[in-house]
Amino acid sequence: MDIGDPMTDFIEVRTTTSTRVDAESIAGILVDSKLAPCVQIIGPMRSIYRWKDEVEQEDEYLLLIKTRSALFPDVRMTIEENHPYEVPEIISIPITGTSSPYLNWMERNTVP
């Protein structure tokens, strides 16, 4: 199986939620729809951020979403449609320096 160029074909998408329930819901939707073969949930963690001219602090859960670069628009839309935040964090990071078996597994477990 040709996995293409891992510098451009695979990404990790990150988003945060304020509850484990929201994190698990978004993760389940992404994995069930084969937009991501794996979503890891980390937390709670403490976030300090500026929102509407105020410094806020909140416990959040970090979702690490593995997927194909080509699926990013669908992943982003799914997050936006199912996320309770007015402006959810959605960050894409290229996956580099990993093994071919892992990339093959990601490819087999996402929609083409």
Does position 59 have pLDDT exceeding 60, yes or no?
yes
Give me the sign of the Cα torsion angle 38, 41, 47, 50: positive
Q: What integer is the mean pLDDT of 36-55?
A: 97
Q: Are 70 and 36 in contact (CB under 8 A)?
A: no
Measure Cα distances from 53 to 57, 90, 93 in Å.
13, 21, 28
Does position 56 have pLDDT exceeding 70, yes or no?
yes
Sorted by where each starts, the structural domains of the chain and their CATH numbers stand as 6-107 (3.30.70.120)
The pTM of this model reads 0.90
At 5, the pLDDT band (50, 70, 90 cuts) reads low
Q: What is the DSSP letter of 95?
A: -
Within 8 A by CB and 6+ apart from 98, the residues are 6
Q: What integer is the mean pLDDT of 60-87?
A: 97
